[in-house]
Amino acid sequence: MDLFDSADHLGIDLLEAMEEKLERDREKYPLEKAKDGSEKCDEL
């Protein structure tokens, strides 16, 4: 069983899950704060 079969079996829309994850990451690590910085991600 591969990822796509597992997601289908569990009723997970992979595209929607990926978009939600990207949105959470955008909120957690805003580009304006992270761009050109050398800080660790937990220091942003």
Which pLDDT score, from 0 to 100, does residue 44 have?
56
Q: Report if residue 3 sits inside a domain.
A: no
* pLDDT, tens digit (0-9, with 9 covering 90-100), for 1-44: 799 999 999 999 999 999 999 999 999 888 877 666 666 666 65
Which pLDDT score, from 0 to 100, does residue 29 have?
83
Which pLDDT score, from 0 to 100, does residue 38 have?
66
Q: Report if residue 8 sits inside a domain.
A: no
Q: Report if residue 35 sits inside a domain.
A: yes
- Counting the structural domains of the chain, the total is 1
Which pLDDT score, from 0 to 100, does residue 30 have?
84
Q: Give just the sign of the alpha carbon dihedral 7, 13, 19, 20.
A: negative
Q: Which domain holds residue 36?
A: 14-43
Q: Report if residue 2 sits inside a domain.
A: no
Q: Report if residue 1 sits inside a domain.
A: no
